[in-house]
A and B are shown apart, each in its own frame.
Chain A
């Protein structure tokens, strides 16, 4: 089976940096995604990692270590609009690949 773990909630201050961790156990790993979801809205794509290392995109960066089954999403210069849930998702499988989401980390940005 597949298991994806993320912290349930985090709080950070506007202008600060926050790191959201994700660990996974899966077979047939074939990529890791991060999505952002504001309350009551659809998830939207943030980043994709398939090789080890850091991918940077503006204020957001994502890191992957396949040997450790570990990823993190780094958000810099936090803004109030970054208050949302951040979903780690792993594309994996054996024969029948599927994108499996973690339960998400609810980030609250405070002034």
Chain B
């Protein structure tokens, strides 16, 4: 158990809908990262928050947004969903802002868009 909690574990929805994925980092960790994993693309970095502020941004679509709250939990919002958004979404956390720190990953949210 990494100490990172993601909910829900599975999510099935329809095209055009909006969903929210939730992540609670390990106790004491200030950074939260979101990754998308599909079979053909591997783990794709979406975005990182550090202590409530956006720190780094990857190839995150404009339809996707995220935030980190004062209690350090984070939410990833996915809107106007398309079939291609079906993937495993991982959240990870680390104590500081990154660099040489290893990431601790949650067990992921499997999103299926039908």
Complex contact A87–B102 (CB within 8 A): no
Q: Does residue A50 face the partner (Cβ distance < 8 Å to B)?
A: yes
Complex contact B45–A99 (CB within 8 A): yes
**A43 touching B98 in the complex, CB below 8 Å, given contacts A98-B56, A100-B45:** no
Complex contact A43–B56 (CB within 8 A): no
Nearest to B42 among chain A residues (CB) is A103
Q: How far is the CB of B78 from chain A (nearest CB, A)?
A: 20
- Tally chain B residues at the interface, Cβ within 8 Å: 24
Complex contact B105–A98 (CB within 8 A): no
Please, which residues of chain B bring their CB within 8 A of the CB of A101? 35, 42-45
Nearest to A50 among chain B residues (CB) is B100
Complex contact B107–A41 (CB within 8 A): yes
Please, which residues of chain A bring their CB within 8 A of the CB of B49? none
Please, which residues of chain B bring their CB within 8 A of the CB of A50? 100
Complex contact B41–A103 (CB within 8 A): yes
Q: What mask results when residues 98 to 114 of chain B are scored 1 for a CB within 8 Å of chain A, else 0?
A: 11101111111000000
**A104 touching B108 in the complex, CB below 8 Å, given contacts A30-B99, A45-B103, A98-B48:** no
> Once the chains are docked, how many angstroms separate the CA of A87 from the CA of B33?
17
Interface-centre pick from A98, A101, A103 (highest chain B CB count, 10 A): A98
Q: How far is the CB of B27 from chain A (nearest CB, A)?
A: 17
Q: What mask results when residues 13 to 44 of chain A are scored 1 for a CB within 8 Å of chain B, else 0?
A: 00000000000000000110100000001111
Q: Does residue B58 face the partner (Cβ distance < 8 Å to A)?
A: yes
**A99 touching B42 in the complex, CB below 8 Å, given contacts A42-B90, A42-B108:** no
Residues of A bordering B, CB below 8 Å: 30-31, 33, 41-45, 48, 50, 87, 89, 91, 93, 96-104
Residues of B bordering A, CB below 8 Å: 2, 33, 35, 41-45, 48, 55-58, 90, 98-100, 102-108
The 7 closest A-B pairs by CB, nearest first: A103-B42, A42-B105, A45-B102, A101-B43, A98-B56, A96-B56, A43-B105
